[in-house]
Structure 1
Amino acid sequence: MQNPARPQHGPQLPHFTANNTGPKHRIRPSDRSAVVKHTAETHIRAERRKFTTAQNSAQTQAVISDRQSARRQTGTRRDTHANRNADTQLHNRHKGSEPAEHQQDVGKNTQAPNHLDRIIQEQQAVNTPNRNLKKHQHFSEDPLHKNTMTKVEEVGEWGDGSRCQRLTEQDFPGDDNRRIRTSPDPQNHPWFSQDDIEKMELLAGGEVESKARVPAHGRVLQVALEPPHLKVTGSPQKHPDSPKESCQQGHCALIKRTDDWFEVFAFHLDRVLGLNRSLPAVLRTFHSEILPYRFTSGTPRPVVWWDPDIQHLTDTDNDQNSVPLSWVQYQQLLQLHCGSEADLRSEACVGVHHSEWERLALFDFLLQVNDRLDRYCCGFTPDPTEECVENLLQAKCRNTKELLLVHILVRKADPSRLVFIDNAGRPRQSADNLNFRLVEGIHEFPEKAVSVLRSGCLESLLLRSLYTDGQFWASRGGVGGLRPLIETVELRGKILLQHIRDRKLQLKRDL
């Protein structure tokens, strides 16, 4: 069976020159100060909450006006000086809106929160209607990024520079009513394989043939879908009694909760970044008489392809794992560099290549997925209504030996690679409450994914990708509704890039 998560056409990304010389920087798992803390100081949290969307917009426009005025008065030769003055004024406006005692506290911040301040201010400053690659000047100070940006500007990302421009609603045809809106030219969406597209069409247009409950998942339903190209009109078709046979043929899916819509976004992010580890997912409504009413009430639900090749443990209490793994074991195997410095077949390596954990950490940080590496919510401050709080899981954080990982899954045919499931994450997680435990122990990150984050093209690429899912696009409000969501993920990406620079972490080419 063709691997559904390996695209046949990958984006031609510029390569970074990774610094492979010198000793590797090791961070002990127990040394929490060695990574940027998952929570900032209390006064930093208060400061972040003050910056409402309206304030950000007004301050950004003020900076733009200052810069334009400075250019008219001083000319092109003094643009750099004017930009610096405008940036200073933006900082002063933020500072001037705070109480006096709050301003005094800010001066006592540690290095990590100061970096968070700078990143958030820079993100606000570049969110202008005329944003393009050259506007990201704060990254050009990094020699690695400067070289890469030159390559992006010279050759044009993925063939032409228009893919990195700020897109508007007018760039997307409003009269295309197809469920899956892909182009015959694979270069328009090179991050999708043909297998991806076929599975998206199955999920979006397949007719429900049968249904089955998923043990221990009361709000999730497994369904067998008849592929659209196999539909026969005329005489009624006999539906199978169970999805089992259809599932073995790859014709099954999980209908998930309406609140899990972010999992569809996660699938597109996974493909655009070149990670290729999540399962195809779409958003759709159902009208089948086979389904219970709550699944046919008209509210669109995320539908995720069911992979029959995923390996599950026989333990019914731990069937959401391919291998049992504790947090302590996980941190130990990260130090082994399995597949390069240690044998994959060794018991400690659990058969998974080291680079897989790097992909997982980056992906989970951008989406803030905790129900995999941090199911106990140890790395951030959860809401009191969270399951990890209500089920008293967070109380176990005091004893790391009790912490277990979940949803660590591989395929039977390729056990050295992870499969990412349940990727709904946290679209509304604030920047001052990010879970840095997700990247603890990670000293390298995938070069291709980091290239996309640094390129300035993430928004345009995601918009192009998400447009292919017609129902998701409409339900989330098109460009206007999706842009704030993408900007949230972009900000997390900038914070992660700052973490990489601060720790002098390595970039690793894909295998």
Structure 2
Amino acid sequence: MAQRPWRRTAMKPPAPAAVGALLALALLALTHLPPAPEHSLLPLPASAPPGPPREAAAPLSAGQAHRRGLPVPRARLQQEQAPGRGRRRRGLERDVPHIPPWLSADDLQKMRLLSSGQVVSKSRVPAHGQIMRVRLRAAGDDAKGDAEGDVLPASPEGDCQDGRCGLIKRPGDLYEVLAFHLDRVLGLNRSLPAVARRFSSRLLPYSYTDGALRPIIWWAPDLQHLQDANNDQNSCALGWLQYQEMLQPHRPMPVARDAPCSSIPRSEWSRLALFDFLLQVHDRLDRYCCGFQPDPSEPCVEEMLHEKCRNPAELVLVHILVRRSAPSRLVFIDNAGRPQHPEEKLNFRLLQGIGSFPAVAVARLRSGRLQSLLLQSLRLDRELWESQGGAEGLRPLLQTIDRRAQILLRHIQEHNLTVFEDSPR
């Protein structure tokens, strides 16, 4: 017969009275113990630092696993090592997996200011009634001197010298945001940062706060303007015939300091011509619409400018601007262009006299990836992206730009034009 457990240890079974006494003493001791700390499910090891309970370890990246000798699919490792993969998301671009490499840190900083900066003062721009210049204060900025309700000085320089101002433009100018991204994708880097935004500041007129999406363009504080009130949108006065003469390859660039636009090299005009052709911007090189037959509703017809095409000596260029800090680099402004301009009326006059184009831009046009690169870039601007219906909504517009790119490439081939290597910035 099996022995009872108590007998195996040679101990006598405890008496019932003794058991009761022991239980009473245990209960008394428990009532005098200090209370356990809140949320302390398990005691931390003595060596563990204070802090919240440890979460499950994050999975290793492909690079970490590869360094530890673990097997990693080659495709995953190459994907994580691709250029630009390490740049983090924040603010404006928080929904984008990776920041495109063609956008600089300075671009992103200005885009964040434009997209979320608080409007602290405003002013009208002379001779531009539908454009408002505003001063912005970014989160974390010192609010001293930025009391809401201020009005900016009449001078464009005023208190915008620190680069904290922007131009709010008309809803119809929204394509300036696309133009900015196109400029960066092509490596031209001559347009000013631009984002789409809805405004609610009480400082602005109701027409600016009615919920309509508007572009806001960074205000470059050192743009060089002529003193002539009738020609203040130029840094230098340049006629069409002078411009064509400057483009002649067998003629040296003018060196006289007082010559119009003497500091601007031919390569800058090539960038401008390529950019304007893709967007069909006529207001710089052909504000008279001499390169196509305009509709009666075109401003060049309404303002009777088209009639001057018969006398080239009367034609002048507009919006030819440089910055005082970089007088040899053009600044592209008013870039909305004409996205609906018909293909049969493309303005080839914009390319007249141009003998070569920047290699980086031409390579992007030839890559067959222009649309996908633009989508990758435009995704950063969530307001524009959502208002246009995302990739599907933007696709028709990008297809138009891509078709113009193919026509430009055919023009380059048919005329045996060349490309030049140049620094993209």
* TM norm structure 1: 0.62
Match of 1:254 in 2: 167
Select the residue among 210, 223, 233 that pairs with 1:310: 223
Residue 320 of structure 1 contacts residue 408 of structure 1 at CA under 8 Å; is this kept in 2? yes
Query: What secondary structure does 2:114 align onto?
Result: helix
Q: CA deviation at 1:342?
A: 3.2
Residue 375 in structure 1 maps to residue 281 in structure 2: no
The amino acid across from 1:253 in the alignment is G
Q: Which residue of 2 aligns with 1:393?
A: 305
How does 1:12-411 map onto structure 2 within 5 Å?
A: 179-181=92-94, 188-230=99-141, 237-242=147-152, 245-336=158-249, 341-342=252-253, 344-345=255-256, 347=259, 350-411=262-323
1:417 is the counterpart of 2:329:
yes
Question: What is the letter of the counterpart of residue 447 of structure 1?
Answer: A
> 414, 417, 421: which is aligned to 1:505?
417
What is the distance in 2 between the residues matched to 1:337 and 1:353?
14
For 2:93 and 2:116, the matched residues in 1 are separated by 9
Q: Deviations over 1:39-64 (max 9, x none)?
A: xxxxxxxxxxxxxxxxxxxxxxxxxx
Distance 2:81 2:240 in 1: 43
| Alpha-carbon offset, residue 387 of structure 1 | 1.1
Is 2:352 aligned against 1:454? no
Distance in 1 (CA, whole Å) between partners of 2:317 and 2:360 is 26
Contact 1:367 1:489 in 2 (8 A): yes
- Deviation of 1:476 after TM superposition, in Å, equals 1.1
Deviation at 1:179? 3.9
- DSSP 3-state at the match of 2:173: helix
Question: Is the deviation greater in 410-419 or in 346-355?
Answer: 346-355
2:122–2:150 contact (8 Å) kept in structure 1: no
Q: In the alignment, is the contact (CA less than 8 A) between 2:92 and 2:111 conserved in 1?
A: no
* Structure 1 unmatched ranges of 5 or more: 1-155, 164-175
Cα distance, 1:349–1:300 mapped onto 2, change above 3 Å: closer
| Counterpart contact for 2:149–2:203, Cα < 8 Å | no
CA contact (8 A) 1:224 1:247 kept: yes
Query: CA separation in 1, counterparts of 2:402 and 2:250?
Result: 29
Greater RCO, CA 8 A, separation 6+: 1
Under a length normalisation based on structure 2, what TM-score does the superposition of the two structures give? 0.75
Q: CA RMSD in A?
A: 2.7
Contact 1:258 1:299 in 2 (8 A): yes
Is residue 380 of structure 2 the alignment partner of residue 468 of structure 1? Answer: yes
Larger Rg: 2
Equivalent runs, 1:470-509 vs 2, <5 Å: 470-509=382-421
Secondary structure at 1:395's aligned position in 2?
helix
Give the corresponding residue for 1:26: none
CA–CA distance in structure 2, aligned partners of residues 282 and 158 of structure 1:
29
Deviations 1:245-296 (A, max 9, x none): 5411101111001100111000000000000000000000000110000000
Partners of 2:173 and 2:327 in 1: how far apart? 27
Contact 2:121 2:149 in 1 (8 A): yes
Deviations 1:288-320 (A, max 9, x none): 110000000000101001101110000000000
Per-residue CA deviations over 1:353-379 (Å, capped at 9, x if unaligned) read 110000000000000000000001111
2: CA distance, partners of 1:330 / 1:158:
48
Contact 2:123 2:132 in 1 (8 A): yes
1:380 positional shift: 1.4
Contact 2:120/2:147, CA 8 A, preserved across alignment = no
CA–CA distance in 2 between the matches of 1:249 and 1:382?
41
